[in-house]
Every structure is written in structure tokens, then in C-alpha cells.
Amino acid sequence: MVGKQDIRVRIAPSPTGHLHLGTVRTALYNYLFAQKEHGTFILRVEDTDQGRSLPIYENEILDGLRALGLTWQEGPDVGGPYGPYRQTERTQIYKTYIEKLLTERKAYYCFCTKEDLEKQREAMLVEGIAPKYAGTCRSLSAQQVQEKLAAGASSVIRLLVSDGVEVSFDDVIRGSISVMSNTIGDMVIAKNVNTPLFHLANVVDDYEMKISHVIRGEDHISNTPKQILIQQALGFPRVRYAHIPLVLTPDRKKMSKRSLETSFVEYLHDGYLPEALLNFLALLGWAPEDGSELLTLPEMVERFSLKRIQKSGAAFNIDKLDWFNAQYIKKLSFAELVQRLTPFVPPEWLLQNNHLMEHAINLERERIKKLSDFVEGAGFLFSLGEYETSLLVWKGSTLAQASAHLAKIRELLDSIEPSNFTATYLESVIMPYAQQVGRGEVLWPLRVALSGKQNSPGPFDILAALGKEESLRRIDIGVAKVAGELSLS
């Protein structure tokens, strides 16, 4: 029985593409489990595909997970007692185990060509048999093998898999799963003694790094019996498996690899907060007993259990992610929000008076779903853009009426001391006039003149944010636009 002090889990990404949602969620579940059980969380880079593995992707994966607060105790950047933690640096370790399997006749060289294998496959399909390797090269003698190798014949190394063996395992999430070895056949485990393939390298690394639990996506379920057979051939102890559900599209279809591999970092660049992303991803397939939704990382650790991970796929819903992000934005203090917004806003916004930035944040905090929304939503406060004169007209009204209402409001505002330019006081001054002639007739052209936008916060909040001088200037611009339009008619 694995004790709590012995629990060791790993995330093993391949640096062949961008960090994506599936990898982050798998890393999160491994991290939560390790933290909850006082175990060790390990990061291992599976970079044996040297044609596609790139340092830029490895850096993105490590930087992205760090940005989310998912720190590991062992890995390529921090070292550890069971390194190295990149597969390309572990070639000699794999070679030792491959040679052991060959020596013990648990693996053998296969010299079948692609054409040979295709003929075998077609023959089995004709007979109604599920295709697998026919075992042609099993019977080659040691001398025949050496002669073929010496002659430079192309080869791979296969694991010898006996027929009629039931391979079963108890999945923490899905229960008992069994597969007959007949459906697997003698699988390829290496190109040569120096080049292992995924299954063998994965099994050897998990053993050498003393991994106790493998928590990964359900798309790996079919790989598990193959890896168990390799474990058995090498005399390794069995690890515990937990296969988590796939991330699905909103209509509950399997999310395409292209969608999944959209760089996770792009979500951060688009203004999603790391803590909101973690919270959202944690609930894509798992839920705490008390049904809580808004959870900090320590709260997730406290409530986490592998047994509460669902078996069915979890639908990715961008609206739900937006909701989570909006909730976390609302919880940030002014100073924290300014800090988070700094990469998203023009530098000059931060150099202007703090009063305007504070008003901008107070106005937009409740409206924005992500940080990148802030510039579009609050930009009018820092610079009035161009807008169509017709936008000033309330439905059923006229340009002349809009101009008259703006002139009246300007008259009312002109008599107010700058120190009294608060939303509450301004509302008390303007609303009696608006109630007298019509709220829409008065407030619509005022809001448009101040913001230049069809949709914006209310006019009293905008007036308070802009202050007296800038508010009057913008009202004057609105009046002038109407005058210019009327002069042409």
C-alpha cells in the first residue's frame, strides 16, 4: 500500500507545440493531489521527438505553469534526486533496460518491412481478425539477427506479448478495466537500443522516478495495458492510474487538437487572470462536496479528491470562463487592478492624474469580463473619439432638440463648483430638468456627448470622472457638431 509520504505524481508534457488547456488541467489535478496528500509534484519533459521538440515550447510550458502558481519540487530547471528530467538526457538509462529485455528474450528485433506489415494487416482483415503483428520475427535465431544487423537491415525492437493474458487494472476514477493481450500483439518499444519509443520511455521514467500515481487524460486508457505489459516484463511494481475526462466543446463533442493546442498563454495575454483560469479548469470535471464555485488554489487543495472527478467529458464554456474572470476582477483592490492592467493600457494612461484612472476602474470594474476589455470600455475617458452627430439624437427627437438640451445642461453645470462634481450631486441638479422634459431626451445626448459611444456608463458617473472643465469641453463639442450639421441642412 502506498503511504502518503510516498505519493509522487508527474506532469510529462512534450515540447512539440504550445502549452494548451488539456496539459494545464492535467498539471493542476496532479498538483492538487500532491499538495492534498503531502506528496511530490514532478515535471518531466518528454522530448524524444527531436524533429518537433523545440526549446521555445519547453520554455512556454514551464513559464505558463509557473505563472499559474503550479510549482514543482523536481524538474529540468530545479533538478532533483531522480534526474535528469528530460528524456533526451536519459538515453543510457533506456538502453540498459532495452538490452535487458533483449537478453532475457522478452523483446526481439523485427526486420519486417512496411510492405510485409501491410500484407499481414490485409490478410487479418480478410479473416475478420483485428490487425496486430503476426510475430514473424519471433523465431529468428541470435545468429540470424546478428547477420541482419551486420548487413544494415532496417529493424525495430518489439516486446514479446503472450496470447491469452488478461491485462487488468483498477482505475481510481473509472474502476476495473481489462483487456486481453491478444488484441495488443508484439508492440514496438524502440527503434533501436538507443532510441526508445513513448511506451517504454514512459514506463522506465515512472519507475526510475518512483512515481506512485499516474493522473492523465482518458485518451491514454488504451495505452495503459501496453505499459503494464512493459512493467511486468521489466519486473517493475504497478503504479496507480487515474484517467480524467476529456475537455469537450460546448455541444459536448470531442475538442479538436487544433482547438486544444491554442496556446494557453494567449488566454493570459487576452486578460484572463491566472487564478480565474485555474478555478475554471479545476471545475472542468471535478467539483467539491459543498458545491462551491469560487475557490482559491489553497481552497482547491483542501477540497480536492480524485474520487470526485467525474467520468464523463467536461464541456468548455467560454461564457463560464468569462464569468469566473469577471468575479475575480471585481475582487481585486484598486492597486492590484492597476498592476494587472499595466500591460494592457497605453503608458500615458498611467502617467495622467490618478483621479481619472481611479474613476475609469470604478466605472469599468463591474462591466469588463477580461482585462483586455478595459481599454475599449474606458478609452473614451482619456480621449474623446470621433462619432456621428446623429448619435446624439434620442429616438423620436431631433438634432435641434438635442442641441437645446445640451445647452441647458451646460448652463446648469457651469454654475456648479468643481468640488461638487460628484455623481450624486450632479444627478440632483440635472434630474429635475430631465424629469420635466423627458429622461431620454436629456440624458441620451448628454451621455453621448461625454463618451462619443452608443454604450457607456451613465452620464453622472462620466461627469464625475471627467471633472467640470473636460465635461463642459465635450458638451461644447457636441453642440458645435449639431450646429455644423444644421447649417448644412
Amino acid of residue 444: W
Distance (Å, whole) CA 44 – CA 205: 9
Nearest residue to 197 (alpha-carbon basis) of 138, 162, 157: 157
C-beta of residue 393 within 8 angstroms of C-beta of residue 402: yes
Nearest residue to 202 (alpha-carbon basis) of 5, 11, 1: 11
Distance (Å, whole) CA 361 – CA 148: 74
> Rounded to 5 degrees, what are φ and ψ at 75?
175, 180
Cα distance between the two ends of the chain: 89
The cell 480478410 sits on which residue? 126
The cell 451646460 sits on which residue? 410
Instruction: Measure Cα distances from 380 to 5, 177, 271 in Å.
Output: 57, 60, 20
Residues in CB range of 40: below 8 A, 6 or more apart? 7, 8, 9, 34, 73, 74
For 270, half-sphere exposure in the C-beta direction (CA atoms, 13 angstrom radius) is 14
In terms of Cβ atoms closer than 10 Å to its own Cβ (0-12, 13-18, 19+), residue 376 is: exposed
| Torsion sign, CA atoms 202, 204, 205, 211 | positive
The residues annotated with a catalytic role in the active site are: 257
Instruction: Give the length of the chain.
Output: 489
Distance (Å, whole) CA 251 – CA 172: 27
Within 10 angstroms of residue 428's Cβ, the number of other Cβ atoms is 12
Q: Strand, helix or coil at 48?
A: coil
Query: Cα angle at 50 between 48 and 55, to 5 degrees?
Result: 100
Nearest residue to 470 (alpha-carbon basis) of 352, 375, 373: 352
Within 10 angstroms of residue 382's Cβ, the number of other Cβ atoms is 15
C-beta of residue 426 within 8 angstroms of C-beta of residue 463: yes
Distance (Å, whole) CA 351 – CA 357: 9
